[in-house]
Chains A and B, each alone.
Chain A
Amino acid sequence: MAIERSEVEKIAHLARLGLDEADLPRTTETLNNILGLIDAMQAVDTDGIAPLAHPLETTQRLRVDLVTEANRREAYQAVAPAVEDGLYLVPKVIE
């Protein structure tokens, strides 16, 4: 399944990756090479095989409902690019 330039642009948008116009042909080609490698698996007969999402196939352990986290806002926001009044700042969110 070869992908087109427009699809590459769509994927990049979904993944929120800015794309350089000039790089598009090269990116498209590389992605097509990778997809070519991947597409080899279409030939494998997987009829009746259940997908395996997790190697160990065990079940989820649950946590007791207890609050053990304390407020560490200062430490956590020390690594933030922009904060004010305890809030993370981003360019205006339009609803």
Chain B
Amino acid sequence: MHQLTLAEIVRGLQDKQFSSEELTGALLARIADVDTRLNSFISVTGDLAIADAKAADARRAKGESDPLLGAPIAHKDLFCTEGVLTTCGSKILHNFKAPYDATVVAKLKEAGAVSLGKLNMDEFAMGSANESSHFGPVKNPWDTERVPGGSSGGSAAAVAARLIPAATGTDTGGSIRQPAALTNLTGIKPTYGRVSRWGMIAYASSLDQGGPMARTAEDCALLLGAMAGFDPKDSTSIDQPVDDYLAVLAQPLAGLRIGLPKEYFGAGLDPRIADKVMAVVEELKKLGATVKDISLPNLQHAIPAYYVIAPAEASSNLSRFDGVRFGYRCEDPKDLMDLYKRSRAEGFGDEVKRRIMVGTYALSAGYYDAYYLKAQKIRRLIKNDFVSAFEGVDVILGPTTPNLAWKLGEKGGDPVSAYLEDIYTITANLAGIPGLSMPAGFVDGLPVGVQLLGNYFQEGRLLNVAHQYQQVTDWHQQAPSGF
């Protein structure tokens, strides 16, 4: 049963091939059995899940048919879940039972989904290896010596290992797409403002977006349809109807104009990944797409700009973790300053502290113009690159990551080399456009992802392209051996 996709589960539940209680029970047993090897869950909420599954079955029996009624999922542990531990992968929230539900959590509940628990992640979503979690690193099911990517590494590992059919994730600089690529999943970061950020613990507010991670584009369409939408509680949420993502999946690709940015295929890219990406291009051509070389000249500036803007916003967003109203408080603070300094020093991990320091520095008197303002100007250049590119193409295609999944601990001592892994994904966050990663084959038994970038609110188009590709290929159906 655990091999079923989310769409197949929805159909199976509808056809009463199995009940939500049976399915949920089976998956919980599998998590208990398998997750010790992956560490993908921080909290498994078995009792709640079984109760919700029973309730879903009862609603089904009464003739109700919400789109995800009884379908099991799990949430990245930065979505607040009322009464359930919400840690953000941090010691500073190790005891935080959120007193409310995030909008994404509430919407998925409303659609009938059953949450099995909370998924591991890089602390405060800062990282691309899932090694910075207070609750320990997550292992990649394709090779448990390797990282699953991050920061939504728990989501990626759990879905890739068939512990759950789909999960929520968030993406500030690639945190959905990069782990999806490294674990053979499909994941989409929607347009900024498409998915509500209410209850999604902030890393960098102007870059963060929630989105789905699953094995197929169809599952992502199903989940995103339930997650997306206007939310009056989020001032940056966009008041625009949500497209019917499932309806556009079947659209033929004839006439699709694909742009290949030359900067995405330059030095730093593993040539074996480049080959896989070009093979995808060939396949899409067969489906009727035309291909054009384009340029996104400011790509290389994205990393410095991102590593100013994200830490700057984070340094302010994370000030509320002060040991006063919630979360970790140090033992016996001798005065107020001691309370602040020790609670935060003991509660945050190294990478979080580094980014807070960088952000504090970038905003401090005398450096604001040279760092923060400069980065924002570059941000506009990057956005302008996309605006002109999308005048001539419908989607932009390239690799999701420059390298394959690396070994745990390999980049531990060198944050800068880990930052460079984000090169292809962060531009979408800086510009606010949607980006999707889908399976594109394997190199040395490790998954490779290809990234599709679309214009604002073109999530439907990206899912359509990925779905059509998945109709003629089976990379996405490959499962890691041993899981």
Residues of A within 8 A of B (CB): 1, 3, 7-8, 11-12, 14-20, 27, 30-31, 33-42, 44, 46, 49-56, 58, 60-61, 63, 72, 75-76, 78-82, 88, 90-94
Contacts and interface: CB of A to CB of B under 8 A. Distances in A.
A34 B345 contact: no
Interface stretch (B55-63, B230-238, B242-250): B230-238
Contacts of B367: 1
Nearest to B372: A51
Nearest to B93: A79
Which of A7, A16, A50, A78 lies at the interface centre, i.e. has the most chain B CB atoms within 10 A of its CB? A16
A15 to B, nearest CB: 4
Interface stretch (B139-147, B378-386, B471-479): B378-386
Interface string B333-349: 11111111110111010
Nearest to A46: B377
Contacts of B456: 56
A41 B378 contact: yes
The 10 closest A-B pairs by CB, nearest first: A55-B432, A51-B376, A18-B345, A18-B341, A46-B377, A41-B304, A52-B380, A81-B329, A16-B340, A49-B377
A90 B339 contact: yes
Interface stretch (B29-37, B173-181, B276-284, B354-362): B354-362
A27 B25 CA distance: 47
A17 B343 CA distance: 8
Given A17-B341, A38-B304, A56-B456, A81 B333 contact: no
Contacts of B315: 15
A62 to B, nearest CB: 9
B21 interface: no
B305 interface: yes
A44 B378 contact: yes
Contact of A55 (B96, B364, B431): B431
Contact of A61 (B95, B235, B346): B235
Contacts of B124: none
A42 B322 CA distance: 34
B378 A91 contact: no
Contacts of A35: 358, 361
Contacts of B305: 41
A66 to B, nearest CB: 12
Contacts of A42: 370, 374
Given A18-B341, A56-B238, A90-B339, A34 B354 contact: yes
A52 B338 contact: no
Given A38-B358, A41-B375, 11 more contacts: A31-B361, A33-B415, A38-B362, A40-B300, A40-B303, A42-B370, A44-B377, A51-B376, A52-B379, A72-B99, A81-B326
5 contacts: A15-B344, A33-B415, A37-B303, A56-B236, A81-B329
A85 B233 CA distance: 30
B43 interface: no
Contacts of B338: 91
A50 B431 contact: no
Contact of B236 (A3, A34, A54, A90): A54
Of A50, A79, A93, the most chain B CB neighbours within 10 A belong to A79
Interface string B181-199: 0000000000011000000
A36 B432 CA distance: 26
Contacts of B390: none
A58 B333 contact: no
Nearest to A93: B336
Contact of A81 (B238, B323, B345, B356): B323
